[in-house]
């Protein structure tokens, strides 16, 4: 079979870039195909008002073992090791310290009830106490961390992440998206603005059909999101229907970010955190003046993110500002200006934030990660069994898929040579 390349990589996010970094040293010819006009995928640093704002992932989670930490340090990026301020709510603002303690205790109690559910319903919502005043808070926290409410969340999947995570979170002021996108070796050929329409068997390899023509390869690594996989946007061989089914059991949740500029003097203290409304699952959370910048980083997850997805960015900003007004007073309204926001749920090339396993289906991650016939390999955060929803999980999945592809092609080479 005559081929254009040895290995094609579909998707230029963290998984695709990590795969390319490994394959650049393999001796095999490769090509990275990215549907959008930029690299990074859900890692996206946008320069707005002179500030590098991460509209996607922004924290080096499990930072001491996160491979992107080592990449950052080797590349000269500053890594800020200060503890995240998520527990540093200003005691002078609502909600009160007593309310916060009670809400956090209720969340901890909910987590302690999860293991008993795994062999039964596996539905995280079954660990809620009916009528508990803190259920909206628990729903909101699940929205921020998983993109869904507990009704749609596998208890076992949640626990797998929780048990593996170190909860040490660092940042780089240059932006996580900038770090990931810039880490692609210059030797790797890339085609941006090249959506893949189909991947089909072709001889002993594959044919990758794009909007700009077809490419013949010996193997392909698919790193696209589960939303893209299950949508059928990429036509795959019928034999891969079980992989598409697995993707449908790992839907993307809804999480968005909004950035507000602070004009003039305010009482906001740098590197602090505010929680909008403990009693409403549609609440936002706010990181105040990260790195001392004159901005507020707003987080919407689950129920609040659905408002933005349904009604647009303006509705998202309105929700965030109204919650800040309730927290600190009406004077703040005139000092807040919308800067930028994400809308991942309405991105047809991604379709949401990150994956969560539906109740009873945590095993779908392993099913999706399986290679097929020594030709098609799968990567992406959804294929990691405990570091899903993170850029480092995506990285490690890309590395794993690259190793699988190299091993398969080397076996082919030995077979032909023998």
- Please state which of the ranges 184-188, 200-204, 414-418 shows the lowest mean pLDDT: 414-418
Average pLDDT over residues 21-42: 97
- Lowest-confidence segment of 44-48, 96-100, 275-279 by average pLDDT: 96-100
Tell whether the model's pLDDT for residue 371 goes beyond 70: yes
Query: Can you tell me the mean pLDDT for 372-385?
Result: 98
Spell out the residues 6+ positions from residue 183 whose beta carbon is closer than 8 angstroms to its own.
Answer: 17, 21, 68, 71, 75
* Domains annotated on the chain, with CATH: 5-39+184-251+361-417 (3.50.50.60), 97-168+254-346 (3.90.660)
Element (H, E) at 418: none
pLDDT of residue 87: 73
Retrieve residue 154's tokens.
């596998």
Q: How many CB atoms lie within 10 A of CB 187?
A: 9
Give the model's pLDDT for residue 94: 65
Q: Please report the pLDDT score of residue 124 as a whole number.
A: 98
Q: Supply the pLDDT for residue 95.
A: 76
242 HSE (CA, 13 A, CB side): 11
Helix, strand, or coil here: 262? strand
Q: Residue 348 — pLDDT band, cuts 50, 70, 90?
A: confident
CA distance 59 to 287: 12
Instruction: Indicate if the pLDDT at residue 414 is higher than 90.
Output: no
Between 416 and 44, the higher pLDDT residue: 44
Q: Is residue 1 over pLDDT 50?
A: no
Ramachandran region, residue 238 (left: φ > 0; alpha: ψ -120 to 50; beta: rest): alpha
The yes-or-no verdict on residue 4 having pLDDT over 90 is: yes
Instruction: Give 131-179 pLDDT, tens digit per residue.
Output: 999 999 999 999 999 999 999 999 999 999 999 999 999 999 999 999 9
Residue 417 pLDDT level (bands cut at 50, 70, 90): low
Model confidence at 230, pLDDT cuts 50, 70, 90, reads: very high
Average pLDDT of the segment spanning 334-338: 95
Q: How wide is the angle at C-alpha 150 spanned by C-alphas 146 and 151, nearest 5°?
A: 125
- Of the pLDDT bands very low, low, confident and very high (cuts 50, 70, 90), residue 265 is confident
The fraction of the chain above a pLDDT of 70, given in percent, is 97
Structure confidence at residue 211 as a pLDDT band (50, 70, 90): confident
Q: Is the peptide bond before 95 cis (omega within 30 degrees of 0)?
A: yes
The band of 90, judged by pLDDT with boundaries at 50, 70 and 90, is low
Give the helix/strand (H/E) hosting 219. Answer: strand 213-222
Query: Which residues in 50-82 are b (16+ Cβ under 10 Å) and which e?
Result: ebbbbbbbbbbbbbeebbbbebbeeeebebeee
pLDDT of 6: 98
The pLDDT of residue 239 is 97
Q: Is it the case that residue 233 has pLDDT exceeding 80?
A: yes
Flag whether pLDDT at 382 surpasses 50: yes
DSSP code of residue 34: -
- Checking if the pLDDT of 57 tops 60, the result is yes
Higher-confidence residue of 68 and 264: namely 68
pLDDT band (50, 70, 90) for residue 316: very high
pLDDT value at position 48? 97
Percent of the chain beyond pLDDT 90?
91
Q: Region 94-110: what's the mean pLDDT?
A: 90
To the nearest 10°, report the CA torsion of 101, 106, 107, 111. 140
């Amino acid at each position: 079979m005559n081929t254009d390349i040895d290995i094609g990589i579909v998707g230029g996010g963290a998984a695709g870039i990590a795969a390319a970094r490994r394959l650049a040293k393999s001796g095999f010819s490769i090509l990275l195909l990215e549907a959008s006009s930029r690299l990074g995928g859900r890692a996206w640093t946008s320069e707005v008002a002179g500030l590098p704002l991460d509209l996607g992932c922004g924290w080096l989670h499990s930072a001491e073992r996160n491979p992107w930490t080592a990449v950052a340090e080797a590349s000269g990026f500053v890594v800020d090791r200060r503890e995240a301020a998520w527990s540093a709510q200003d005691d002078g603002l609502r909600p009160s310290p007593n309310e916060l303690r009670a809400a956090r205790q209720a969340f901890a109690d909910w987590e302690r009830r999860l293991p008993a559910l795994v062999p039964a319903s596996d539905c995280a919502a079954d660990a809620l106490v009916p009528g508990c005043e803190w259920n909206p808070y628990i729903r909101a926290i699940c929205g921020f961390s998983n993109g869904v409410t507990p009704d749609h969340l596998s208890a076992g999947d949640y626990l797998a992440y929780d048990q593996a995570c170190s909860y040490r979170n660092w940042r780089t002021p240059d932006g996580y998206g900038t770090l990931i996108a810039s880490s692609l070796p210059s030797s790797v050929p890339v085609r941006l603005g090249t959506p893949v329409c189909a991947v089909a068997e072709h001889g002993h390899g594959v044919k990758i059909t794009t909007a700009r023509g077809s490419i013949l390869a010996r193997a392909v690594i698919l790193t696209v999101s589960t939303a893209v996989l299950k949508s059928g946007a990429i036509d795959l061989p019928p034999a891969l229907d079980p992989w598409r089914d697995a993707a449908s059991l790992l839907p993307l949740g809804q999480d968005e970010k909004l950035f507000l500029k602070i004009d003039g003097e305010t009482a906001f203290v740098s590197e602090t955190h505010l929680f909008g409304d403990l009693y409403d699952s549609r609440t936002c959370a706010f990181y105040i003046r990260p790195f001392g910048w004159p901005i507020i980083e707003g987080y919407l997850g689950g129920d609040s993110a659905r408002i933005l997805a349904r009604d647009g960015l303006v509705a998202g900003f309105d929700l965030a500002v109204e919650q800040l007004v309730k927290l600190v007073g009406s004077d703040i309204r005139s000092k807040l200006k919308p800067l930028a926001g994400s809308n991942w749920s309405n991105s047809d090339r991604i379709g949401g934030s990150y994956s969560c396993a539906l109740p009873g289906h945590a095993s779908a991650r392993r099913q999706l990660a399986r290679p097929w016939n020594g030709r098609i390999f799968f990567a992406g955060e959804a294929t990691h069994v405990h570091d899903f929803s993170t850029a480092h999980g995506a990285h490690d999945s890309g590395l794993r898929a690259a190793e699988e592809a190299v091993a398969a092609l080397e076996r082919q080479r030995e077979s032909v040579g023998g």
